[in-house]
Structure formats: C-alpha cells, structure tokens
Amino acid sequence: MADDRRKTPEELFAEAVRDPRDLTRYLHYLKQTKSEGMSVLVAPLDAAINWSRANALWPLTFGLACCAIEMMAVGAAKFDLDRFGAGAFRPTPRQADLMIVAGTVTHKMAPRVKRLFDQMPEPKYVMAMGACTIGGGPYSVHGYHVVKGLDRFLPVDVYVPGCPPRPEALIDALLWLQQKIAQERPLIKRYSKETA
Amino acid sequence: MDIRSIHALLRDRFENIIGELQTPERGDASIAVAAEGLADVCRFLRDNDATRFDFLRLISSVDRGTRLSSIYHLYSYPHSHTAVLRVDVDREAPRVPSVSSIWASAEWHEREAFDMMGIIYENHPELTRILLPDDWEGHPLRKDYQPPAEYHGLTNT
Amino acid sequence: MANETTREPADTLRTEELLINMGPQHPSTHGVLRLIVQTDGEMVRRTWPQIGFLHRCFEKIAESLDYAKVIPYTDRMDYLGSMNNPLPFCLAVEKLGGFAVPDRASYLRVIMAELNRIASHLLAFGTYALDLGAFTPFLYGFREREMILSIFEKISGGRLLYHYPRIGGVARDMTPEIAADIRAFLVQMRKVWPEYNTLLSKNQIFVKRTANVGVITREQAIAYGLTGPCLRGSGVAFDLRKAHPYCGYERFSFDVPVGEGAMGTTGDCWDRYWVRMAEMMESCKIVEQALDGLPEGPFFEKVGRSFDLPAGEAYVPCENPRGELGFYVVSDGSSKALRVKSRAPSFCNLCITDAICRDVLLADVVAIIGSIDIVLGEVDR
C-alpha cells in the first residue's frame, strides 16, 4: 500500500473495482481521492456500471480476413469467449458494443467500417486485431489498396499483434479491455464538481 | 492433341490470324493470335470436335513493357488437353474482342484484366472495375503505375 | 357509404421491387462480399455480387519480391487452405527453375494438403450449418479442426497460416510425435464422421433448405468455369489429383465423390455439401497411405533465398479444397517475377451467383452462397 500514493485515481479505482470484497482497498481509494472532491456516493455506482459493461461486451461479427477465422475459433468451444461474457456476437452494429476489426482494411472497405462504427451506440470500443489493422501488416509496403492501420480513421482501444493472433492473445486483449473499462468513471465525470 | 497439332490445325484454318508458336525451353508453349480474329478462333476451338476446349481456365494480362498481352488458358474436359493463346496489343490502344459470349466465365476475368491492366474488351456486357473502387485512378499492374498518395483522405504511405 | 375496408388491396397496395443491400458486413456472406439483391416481396429477381473489399494487391506484391518471399502472401489468399495454396506456386517456380523436389517432401506436402482439406471442409460444414440456423455443427466441426490445427502448429509453428511448402520442398521435417498425432486424429475423424452425417445430412430441415435449391447444371458448371466441389456436385467427375496428378498423387488410391442428386436434383446445394463431406473421408485415406509409405531422405532441396529464374512462363493448377487453384508465373530471367497471376477458384466459382440466384427465395440466396463455399481473400486477392 505504500506505493499507492503514486498511483492515479483511475488506477486506484480500477484496483478497487477488480476486487470489490477488499473493503480496505476501496476505503483507501476514497481516502486518496477525497481530496480531489470526488463524490463518494457516485463511485460505487461507477464501479457497478463498469463491472456490468466489462463483463457483458457484445462483439460485432466483423470478420474481414484471416483473423476472422481465429476470432471464430475463439468463439468456438476450445477457447470459448462466452465465459468472459463476450460470446454473444451480434450481426448488427446497433446491438453491439465491441467492434473487433479482424482482418485487413482496404480503401474500398474503409468507409463501410467507419459507417458501422458510427452506427454503434455508446459506449463502444474498438479492438484492432492482427498486424494488418495495426499498421498494414504484410501489405504495409507494397499494398496500394490497403489502409495502413485502423487508427488512421477510427479510435482504437486495444491492439492485438499477430498474424493471425493466437486465440489466447485475443482473450488476453479482451481482458486488457476489461481492465481499461474498469478505469472509466462515467458518473463521476458527469456529476462531480471537478472534472477528471 | 499436343500444342503443335493444335497450332497446325489453327494455322490451316485461320492462316494469317495465327502467329508463331512460342516453345520456350522450360515452361508452357503459347500460340499467338491476332486481336481481330480472336473471337472466331475461340469459337472454333470450343466447338470443333478435335479440340473441344469447353473450359476457359483464366484470362491473364501481362505488361511486357513494349506491349500488353492478354493470355487465355484453355482446357478440354473430353480430350484432357490444354492450349494457351496469346493476344498482343499496343499499350496506347489496348483493344481486344471479348470472348464472354463464348465462355461465360470470361466475363469476370475480362473485367479483372481491364481493372488491373487497362485492356479494353470490346462487346463486353459490362466492362467496369471489379476489384478496385469505381473511382480509382490508374491500372495497378502496369509497370509504370504510381499508387496514389492518398484516397479519400486516407494516406497510402 | 363505401366501407373502406372492403376495397380490394390491389387498388390501394403499392408494390415495387426493392433493392436490398446484403453485406459487405453480413453474417452469412462468408466474408466481405456485397450482394445487391433485387426482391419482389420474398422472391429474389436478380443479384449483383460486388467484390474487391479485400483486394490486398497480391499480384503487384509478387512482382516486387523474390520468389521465396511471395509464399506467405499465397498463404493469405485462401486463408483456410494455407497448406494447399503455395503448392501450385512452388510447382510453377520449380518447373521453370528445373528444381527437383525430394520424394519425402512430396509425401509431406500431400499429407499436409489433405489434412488441410479436411480442416477446410470441416469449417465449410460448420459455417454452412450456421448460415442455415444450426449452431451445433459449428462447434462439432471446430472440435476436430482444433486437432488438425495443433498438428499444423507442431510442424510449422502457425495455427492458420503456415508458410510450410517452400520452393524445393517443405520447411520442416515430420517427427514421430507428429505422425502419432496424425494417426490419432484419423481414428477420431473416422469415429465422428458418421455422427456429423447423422446430425446434418439427412436432417429434414437441412434437406428442405438445400435440396433442389441452387441447381447448377453440368453445362452451366463447365461454361462458367466452376471447379472443385461445385463442379463435382453437378455431376462432372473431374479432379486434378486424378486427371493430372502432381506431388505423387498417382501413388495413392482414393475415390472422387460426385453429386448424383441423392436428395433432390444433381447439382443442387445438397450435392455440393455432400461432395465436401465425402471428400473428408477420402482425404483420410490419402493421409493414411502417405503416412504408411513415407520415405526416408531429405525434405528440401537447397535453392537459396534469392535466385534468378530462367525466362519462361508456366501455369500449374492444383486441387485446392475450393477448386482449381493455379499460378501463372511469367519470368524474365531475374530474381523477381515479371507477372504472377493467380487463378483463384472462389473468384471463378462466385461468378455463377448472378445466373442461379434468379427467382429464388431470399433465404435460398444464403444457402446458395454457402454451398459455393467462397473465401474472400481468394476472390479479391
């Protein structure tokens, strides 16, 4: 606990959210952040909201290329994304909150990816799966029709390297995303006197 | 029938339209066909009992620097023999008659050759780009192709 | 007073044909395929397939790299048949370069290609059922597929994209452990195949969705350049492994399943599905024979990372799980190809969509596209 003083409020909150039974961590978080004027009543609500969002991420069935096959393998029985709450793949973006862009994005496809992202309701998260979405992948040098990275036109939350990434890597990325969501403070941002 | 007999048969029938038989030391032989007689030659090859080329495997386009070529790989299910036809056209005005009325599979192959190399197939039912977006400029497989620096706001480097 | 509700619907109901967009993001299009569908109510009058959403410039890249470096890009074309894709390319380069491939390498290429065929057909089986609304076959198919993928991982390091067949041979040798794994898989596959058959092939719902749907006649199949299970489903008994054997396929005895209209008409969706199912068992036979007869010796011929290929051109076709995959390699004598053209079976098979999706139900379009079994990486290259 001695080095907690160097952690940011978001990190303290995330730690508290990860283990809600550890009351001491939560009280420590309150003590650390009380000086910043955070609302004590809203913090547990935030924790609850983050917990429910992180553990029930519904991905969009958005397989573009080879990485889509590994995404399907993650959805199947051996690796099973459903035990992390993310097994309900939705075909329509209006019902999805996670877009796993699995595969190369080409110039012809890019406007459609953007449109699908726009159609997703907030809060929405984007996972760039595979080397092609990170920086063009094997096509980054000679591919005239390939967009050299998804983050050129979309905000990306998690990058998953690999060509294609192993199913375990995709599950790891999902857990990273869950930790990232745990650090959010949606209500505190809205209602506290001091904005973060 | 081997490629020499097919070449001889075509030479007999079509004379000047059929060019030389190129037989390299390694690899496939190909029969040069003049562009204006291509449709008749192909129809003959498909319908003639001795050749019966009912399967058009693919149509490729090659940029040889001085000229563009449209290559046809044919196969016959009844006779199990192959043939390769080559049509050379000028870079500035690459016009080749379409064979999509002879083999239905040619439609998409010719669209792709037009898209990638810029060869114009006359009498094609719908000669539009098939792989690249409709507003793409240039034909990528040409040797002098420069990719665009950006496309609709997304840079290409 | 006229009662409004007794007016004939034809007077008041305006009907017109609707243009519906299906894709490029759609659960049943097997990738980024866009279909513009013209419907009259539930009946589809015409479809226009639009492709190119995954065009990754393979042919331009192949002109810019040395021959050995092109192989990973061939893997990524049909990403479900990554052990099969480099074969025609390697064979074409070896033909032009006069490289001799050792026997052991040919056997290994065959074993891996046939295992990949089984894996690809398992996925086709699973996703086809998924398209039609059944979830269980998908999970079952992936169970055996995972066994194959772990074998591939042991021998090549990759689960999906292997870079295994190389120019002059293969990348790594087989160990006794991997051979034992393959034999265990064959036992398991032969045990579960009848279960898959019982689950789906004679299932009344599946038969009603696929029999007599999307009939492709023999003449249509040949005219449109269909190959693979699509061609054999229409009754044409042509398989490149039998007609023009490569990699030593003439040494193995196996049958070529052909569609006979067992559930409906020859050339319907059920026939194409059935050809894939039967091919899985034939591939098991080939793998077993190849394992039993695997010769000792080197598994590759040293050709170097960069070499000048003599000038010439060669087209070599091989039997991919989806049909005839061929590479037309044109060499000008340098270390990079002048032109590499890939004849992708899915591109050629897909062109028949417009012709057969006429006056069918909207649900039949899904069944037809699934039965053609396309991979968009191959369609768009």
Do A38 and A125 share a domain, yes or no? no
Phi, psi of B86 (to 5 degrees): -130, 130
Do A38 and A99 share a domain, yes or no? no
The rounded distance, in Å, linking the Cα atoms of C354 and A108 is: 22
Mean of pLDDT over chain A? 83
The answer to whether position A127 is within a domain reads yes
As for how many domains chain B has, the answer is 1
pTM of the model: 0.90
What confidence score (pLDDT) does residue A35 get?
47
> With 50 as the cut, is the pLDDT of residue C1 above it?
no
Q: Which residue in chain A is spatially nearest to B152 when comparing CA positions?
A: A107
Q: Given C96, C97, C224, which is nearest B105 (Cβ)?
A: C224
ipTM: 0.93
Q: Does A139 touch chain C (CB under 8 A)?
A: yes
- State whether residue C269 is helix, strand or coil: helix
Our CA dihedral for C224, C227, C230, C235, rounded to 10 degrees, sits at 90
Do A76 and A157 share a domain, yes or no? yes
Do A119 and A80 share a domain, yes or no? yes
Higher pLDDT, A185 or C240: C240
CATH of the domain at A157: 3.40.50.12280
The answer to whether position A1 is within a domain reads no
What confidence score (pLDDT) does residue B19 get?
84
Do A50 and A86 share a domain, yes or no? no
pLDDT over 70, % of chain A: 79
Opening angle at CA C277, ends C275 and C283, nearest 5: 95
What confidence score (pLDDT) does residue A41 get?
67
Do A52 and A115 share a domain, yes or no? no
> pLDDT tens, A99-127?
999 999 999 999 999 999 999 998 999 99
What confidence score (pLDDT) does residue C16 get?
80
The answer to whether position A74 is within a domain reads yes
CB < 8 Å to B57, chain C: 225, 315, 317, 324, 326, 343
Higher pLDDT, A161 or A10: A161
As for how many domains chain A has, the answer is 2
Q: Which amino acid is at B53?
A: F
Report the pLDDT averaged over residues C218-229: 93
CATH of the domain at B39: 3.30.460.80
Contact partners, residue C167, CB within 8 Å, separation at least 6? C67, C68, C71, C90, C93, C94, C97, C99, C303
> pLDDT tens, A36-81?
555 566 777 777 888 888 889 999 978 899 999 999 899 888 998 9
The answer to whether position A61 is within a domain reads no
What confidence score (pLDDT) does residue A195 get?
47
Contact partners, residue B147, CB within 8 Å, separation at least 6? A144, B138, B140, B156
- Least confident stretch, B40-54, C2-16, C111-125: C2-16
Higher pLDDT, B10 or C7: B10
pLDDT over 90, % of chain A: 47
Do A189 and A158 share a domain, yes or no? no
Closest CA to C266 of C229, C228, C217, C306: C217
| pLDDT class of A196 with cuts at 50, 70, 90 | very low
> pLDDT tens, C251-277?
999 999 999 888 889 999 999 999 999
Mean of pLDDT over chain C? 91
Mean pLDDT for back-to-back runs of 10 residues, chain B (157 residues): 87 85 84 91 91 92 91 93 92 91 93 93 92 91 90 82
Domain that holds residue A28: 9-56+185-195
Touching partners of B (3+ C-beta pairs < 8 Å): A, C
**Which H or E element spans position A179?**
helix A167-182
Report the pLDDT averaged over residues C326-338: 92
| pLDDT class of C344 with cuts at 50, 70, 90 | very high
> With 90 as the cut, is the pLDDT of residue C289 above it?
yes
Domain that holds residue B125: 3-155
The rounded distance, in Å, linking the Cα atoms of C68 and C307 is: 9
**B111 min Cα distance to partner chain C (Å):** 11
* Chain B interface mutation, best of C224, C319, C353, C380, highest count of B Cβ atoms under 10 Å: C224
Do A122 and A161 share a domain, yes or no? yes
